[in-house]
Amino acid sequence: MTHLFTSDAPVVFLFFNRPVHARRVFEQIRAARPKRVVLVSDGPRAHVPGEAALVAQLRRDIEAMIDWPAQIDTDYAPENLGCGRRVSSGIERALSRYGRAIIVEDDCLPAPTFFPYCAELLERYADEPRVTSITGTYFLGRKAGPFDVGFTHFPCIWGWATWARAWEGYDRELRGWTPDFIDEIGRDGSIPGFLPDAWRKCFQWISTHTESTWDIQFWFLQFKKRGLCAFPYRNQVQNIGAGQGATHTTTGRFCFRKLYPFEPGLLRLPPELSPDLRYQRYLQIEFYSNTTTWRNVGWKVLFKWGQWRRRLSDALAQWLAKGKPAASN
Convert the pLDDT of each residue in 235-294 to its tens digit. Answer: 999 999 865 544 444 444 555 558 999 988 889 999 999 999 999 988 888 777 655 454
For the chain, the distance separating the N- and C-terminal CA atoms, rounded to the nearest angstrom, is 55
Cβ 70 vs Cβ 38: under 8 Å: no
Mean pLDDT for the stretch of residues 154-172: 96
Q: What is the mean pLDDT of residues 89-102?
A: 98
pLDDT of 328 over the 60 cut: no
Return the pLDDT at 323: 66
Spatial contact of 277 and 148, defined as CB atoms under 8 Å apart = no
Reported as a single tens digit per residue, the pLDDT across 50-69 is 999 999 999 999 999 999 99
Residue 140 has pLDDT above 50, yes or no: yes
d(CA 240, CA 21): 7
Q: What is the pLDDT of residue 286?
A: 79
Q: Can you spell out the DSSP letters for 233-258?
A: SB--EEE---STT-SS--S-TT--S-
Is residue 155 within 8 Å of 191, Cβ to Cβ? Answer: no
Going by C-beta distance under 8 Å and a sequence separation of 6 or more, which residues neighbour residue 168? none
What digits encode the pLDDT tens for the residues 101-126? 999 999 999 999 999 999 999 999 99
Q: What is the pLDDT of residue 127?
A: 97
* Per-residue pLDDT, 304: 53
Q: How high is the pLDDT of residue 289?
A: 62
Answer whether 241's CB lies under 8 Å from 21's CB.
yes
Chain segment 30-48, per-residue pLDDT in tens: 999 999 999 999 999 999 9
CA dist 289 and 251 (Å) reads: 15
Cross-strand pairs, 228: 131
pLDDT at res. 55: 98
